[in-house]
Amino acid sequence: MSEVRVLVGTRKGAFILRSDEQRKDWTVDGPHFPGWEIYHITGTPADPNRLYVSQSGGWFGQVIQRSDDAGKTWEAVSNDFSYDGVPGTHQWYDGTQHPWEFKRVWHLEPSPADPDSVYAGVEDAALFHSADGGRSWRELSGLRDVQGDQWQPGAGGMCLHTIVISPDDPKRIFVAISAAGAFRTDDGGATWMPINKGLRSNMELPDADADVGHCVHSIALHPSRPGTLYMQKHWDVMRTDNAGDLWHEVSGNLPSDFGFPIAVHAHEPETIYVVPITSDSHHFPPEGKLRVYRSRSGGNSWEALTNGLPQDNCYVNVLRNAFAVDTLPSCGVYFGTTGGQVYASADSGDSWAPIVRDLPPVLSVEVQVLP
């Protein structure tokens, strides 16, 4: 019988939730690293017992933890995220240029093939790679050559929060940066291009169709369709079928097209999920009803999934890294909220139940299925 592990990062520690393939009865293990902000905890497909954790805090800065036994023991590895060469400057709030300054790691993306190979997306926005399991990090600084001096932090910080490695070509990597946009490399990170054509930011940018500056909140793809990506932007849900060369809007009948996460069903490449929230300042669901929206047509036509989710007086948010799917035959869907609930659905979103209700605010959710 398979084991399902849900890896949860919160404002005050990490939790590992375990169940069998029925996904009904869960154990809660944690908090690991109590008191620390866990922006991301994730496993490596090549070795499911290898976990990586981004652990940070205002007092003591950034720590990267690694486990080789699924969280029984941990090793603090390198936290030296030194920018390549002279860091340079980016746009600041007052119109001046401001030096790049490392703040924290938002996202860790292990290679599907090599447990020692892992990428880190950081704030101030940059991409780092480790080839030795986190013991050293090297910046892929070509990314910041793409008009980096014009990037400007948004309200959530200038963070590189999403990393997607193309399933058919490990040298093709997509990243997304708040208030800068989406970018792609086809050569393993040496050179990058903006992939923001078709995005429109009418209210946020003086040039709504600018090459950079769009506030991308998250992107996702299905392994069988490496050229099709879905995006939750600040406003608008978008889709591309040519690896980002051109995007088009698929917000359709959503009650709001503002939100943070987006995910693709494990077995249905045209089935996607978003969690609409009201607006850029109202970071809670419309009408106080927590609804996941599912499209089975790759966008435009959406249905509300509400069975088991609170439909009265619910004012939580679901952050960009806090939504995940598993790979079991009846695809499991999971998300965590800023109110500390982690919800699970074992039937592709048709029905939901909380795994745990009272964690600290949830920053990230990942799922592993073990044989």
Partner 1 sequence: MIVVTLPMHLRDLARVTGPVTLDVPEPVTRQAILDALEAAYPMLRGTIRDASTRERRAFIRFFACGEDLSHEPADSALPVEVTAGKEPFRIIGAMAGG
Q: Which positions lie near partner 1, rule CB under 8 A?
A: 35-36, 57-63, 76, 79-82, 102
* CB of residue 193 to partner 1, shortest distance in Å: 29
Q: What are phi and psi of 327, to 5 degrees?
A: -110, 10
Beta bridge pairs of residue 76:
65
- List the one residue out of 181, 199, 177 whose CA is nearest residue 100: 177
Q: Which two tokens stand for residue 226?
A: 């490496």
Q: Which two tokens stand for residue 352?
A: 């939901």
d(CA 279, CA 295): 21
- Residue 39 or 230: the one with the smaller Cβ distance to partner 1 is 39
Q: Which two tokens stand for residue 75?
A: 């090793």
334-339 long-range contacts, Cβ below 8 Å, gap at least 24? 334/6, 334/365, 334/367, 335/261, 335/275, 335/292, 335/365, 336/8, 336/10, 336/362, 336/363, 336/364, 336/365, 337/290, 337/361, 337/362, 338/283, 338/362
* CB of residue 356 to partner 1, shortest distance in Å: 23
Cα angle 165, 122, 69 (rounded to 5 degrees) comes to 65
d(CA 101, CA 81): 10
- Residue 60 or 92: the one with the smaller Cβ distance to partner 1 is 60
DSSP line for 265-298: -SS-TT-EEEEEES-SS--S-GGG---EEEESSS
- Residue 99 or 223: the one with the smaller Cβ distance to partner 1 is 99
- Residue 12 or 18: the one with the smaller Cβ distance to partner 1 is 12
* CB of residue 128 to partner 1, shortest distance in Å: 13
* CB of residue 290 to partner 1, shortest distance in Å: 29
- Residue 58 or 95: the one with the smaller Cβ distance to partner 1 is 58
- Residue 82 or 150: the one with the smaller Cβ distance to partner 1 is 82
- Residue 35 or 223: the one with the smaller Cβ distance to partner 1 is 35
Q: Which two tokens stand for residue 77?
A: 């590895």
Q: Which two tokens stand for residue 305?
A: 């999934």
- Residue 76 or 113: the one with the smaller Cβ distance to partner 1 is 76
* CB of residue 324 to partner 1, shortest distance in Å: 28
- Residue 57 or 252: the one with the smaller Cβ distance to partner 1 is 57
d(CA 80, CA 120): 12
Q: Which two tokens stand for residue 84?
A: 């390549």
d(CA 34, CA 57): 11
